[in-house]
Structure 1
């Protein structure tokens, strides 16, 4: 450590996007920054905001970013319809100005702001965060010791996919209600976040609602799923959950919408992955989105929607239209969580239920065995 390019200093906040690297304050910095997704950098806040002004820290707490705060974050791009979009510049050095692109601490050059959020918070690059590995100093990056990609997913417990027409349609709330309801029925539930921009809040919420094991694309070394081929990454996350703990079912949330840049459509059109999905819960904001979802699932994904939820189901008008005109079950995750869980249970095979709860599954009807649970 005699090279004058290295220096050590304290930091105020360590973003959750870097949690896989186990960074502690003080940090060791290098003036040489690798300008690639996933590399960890230290930056200083050049301003202070009164909205979109927090960062999720590695301990899970959200903290306000003050002007002058030194933040450790992860280089990454983003293509958000209702947030900031940005990219990683080709060259980055100390003194350069970048921006905080999301609550998980993604750092990049903002290329498109959002009128409801104001300008992205500008930060000054201080240097690359270094970590000691095998007696040598190397650049910290979230790809180190990350979950491996899987190109062939040979087996899995049943999956419940939670997708939506866009950001902020209630996907996480629906996923949490489904996780909670399945856990209350005695199932051992895993939870995954397969697409999106790095943020641990969603899987932490699913763990709080009863998931016994959780994993996200960030665990696979991905800061945001707009940058890489997402299918082998998602399969790696699912494989990891299956191998880590004995589970009965996995609830997999897909961030953003199935129309967009985050790779949801790639997962929905992968036949191998779809072969393990037994239920599709889809969140929509309005009736146009609900109609588009039904059309997309029928014509492109060649599968049905188990239940439509989200703001479009906030009152009876939306639920009645979806049921009568689209022929799809409409259930609000907040108001009708029990019915939503029951609908998911109907779609699960009987083998998903542990022996202790098999007696609660429905009896055969009309000569055919039904894999449903009576509640």
Structure 2
């Protein structure tokens, strides 16, 4: 009996294909190339997010369909698409990103990554390898800046991967909806997995979208122009002109490559109406604001994990004269009083 192939979320639109096993020996994979793998051993990832968003358990011997991609995650894995064909790969992200791991957080060294063996590439009737990014390329729009002028945009950024910026974004969305505003959410950068979009949708967002909608298994190592095109495309995709606000989240911390690239790019920042900066503790809050000031950005407000501690809030208030909001305050819409005017620089 033919084995059932468990299709990961990034491959959700793949229906007609056949598997070419010969290409494994000589084709050098590129980001977005789709392949079928056999699970060799289970490590960090015990499930993959399926085409239907359900987290499907995987076991040694299972076959999965996934796409090649990169990953930058300080709390998890650093992984790449190598310039050589290999027979064994690792799961980089549960949404279906596969590559070669270069480093991992120490907490995973005892279990390691989930190991995969390459079976073959998914190809079309002409024998061409299916690619998630290439499939969506005709829909990508060139950046003009027009889309970001259609609505007010609030940018949620953080000091690190786990600083609380997604929770901050979701509670901003909740506060906006509570006050009667049509609100969208975009996860602009990161590694494919729907958790962040789902959380914002559950908090009331009228529409959500992320980079995977345009076939990106991840955005790590994308060029600036590609990110700007993606920004424009996603805003148009969610019909930004029909929304009062769009909350946009950028993954990881201020020093991450794509985050820093966007924050220092005037074409991107000129369309942002307010920045909310999340931090994990008082030191990262204070130093993060100083880093943003060096980028000519003054946050409208601070939030994040540190706001769970009254003592940490007190420490930050002693160093900074900026509004600080807990998630409960964001959820009531208190931020609205600060974002009625466009973002100003500190120059």
- Does TM, scored on the shorter chain, surpass 0.5? yes
Q: Residue 161 and residue 9 in structure 1: after superposition, are their counterparts in 2 closer, same or farther (change >3 A)?
A: farther
Q: Residue 238 and residue 304 in structure 1: after superposition, are their counterparts in 2 closer, same or farther (change >3 A)?
A: farther
Q: Deviations over 1:271-328 (max 9, x none)?
A: 122122112111111122111211022221x232122122211111111222231112
Aligned to 2:254: 258
- Give the one of 136, 152, 156 matched to 2:150: 156
Q: Which has the larger radius of gyration?
A: 1
1:22-41 aligned within 5 A: 22-24=13-15, 28-31=18-21, 32-33=23-24, 34=27, 35-41=29-35
- Give the one of 290, 304, 325 matched to 1:295: 290
Determine helix, strand or coil for the equivalent of 2:72. Answer: coil
- Alignment pair present for 1:105 and 2:101: no
Deviation at 1:177, TM superposition (A): 1.1
- Alignment pair present for 1:190 and 2:184: yes
Query: Retained in 2: the 8 A contact 1:215–1:237?
Result: no
Q: Residue 97 and residue 329 in structure 1: after superposition, are their counterparts in 2 closer, same or farther (change >3 A)?
A: same
1:261-272 aligned within 5 A: 261=257, 263-272=258-267
Q: Residue 72 and residue 177 in structure 1: after superposition, are their counterparts in 2 closer, same or farther (change >3 A)?
A: same
Gaps of 5+ in 2: 343-347
Q: Residue 181 and residue 241 in structure 1: after superposition, are their counterparts in 2 closer, same or farther (change >3 A)?
A: farther
Q: Residue 260 and residue 42 in structure 1: after superposition, are their counterparts in 2 closer, same or farther (change >3 A)?
A: same
RMSD across aligned positions (CA):
2.3
Q: Deviations over 1:182-210 (max 9, x none)?
A: 12222111110111112222112222222
Determine helix, strand or coil for the equivalent of 1:46. Answer: strand
Deviation at 1:107, TM superposition (A): 0.6
Query: Retained in 2: the 8 A contact 1:78–1:87?
Result: yes
Aligned to 1:121: 114
1:119-268 aligned within 5 A: 119-132=112-125, 136-143=126-133, 144-146=135-137, 147-154=139-146, 155-230=149-224, 231-241=227-237, 243=239, 246-261=242-257, 263-268=258-263
Query: Retained in 1: the 8 A contact 2:183–2:207?
Result: yes
- Provide the rounded CA distance (Å) in 2 between the counterparts of 1:77 and 1:242: 26
- Provide the rounded CA distance (Å) in 2 between the counterparts of 1:131 and 1:179: 41
Gaps of 5+ in 1: 1-7, 351-375
- Provide the rounded CA distance (Å) in 1 between the counterparts of 2:47 and 2:336: 35
Q: Deviations over 1:2-49 (max 9, x none)?
A: xxxxxx964342111223xx124x952112255100111111110123
Q: Residue 177 and residue 151 in structure 1: after superposition, are their counterparts in 2 closer, same or farther (change >3 A)?
A: same
- Provide the rounded CA distance (Å) in 1 between the counterparts of 2:105 and 2:57: 20
Q: Runs ≥4 in structure 1, deviation > 6 angstroms?
A: none
Deviation at 1:349, TM superposition (A): 4.7
Number of matched residues?
A: 330
**TM-score normalized by the length of structure 2:** 0.87
Q: Residue 237 and residue 291 in structure 1: after superposition, are their counterparts in 2 closer, same or farther (change >3 A)?
A: farther
Aligned to 2:321: 327
- Alignment pair present for 1:46 and 2:37: no
- Provide the rounded CA distance (Å) in 1 between the counterparts of 2:83 and 2:115: 18
Task: Report which structure shows greater RCO (CA 8 Å, sep ≥6).
Answer: 2
Relative to its length, the structure with more helix (as a share) is: 2
Aligned to 1:371: none
Q: Residue 162 and residue 27 in structure 1: after superposition, are their counterparts in 2 closer, same or farther (change >3 A)?
A: same
Bigger drift between 109-118 and 99-108 goes to 109-118
Aligned to 1:83: 76
- Provide the rounded CA distance (Å) in 2 between the counterparts of 1:245 and 1:73: 34
Aligned to 1:74: 67
Bigger drift between 287-296 and 207-216 goes to 207-216
Aligned to 1:286: 281
- Provide the rounded CA distance (Å) in 2 between the counterparts of 1:56 and 1:238: 22
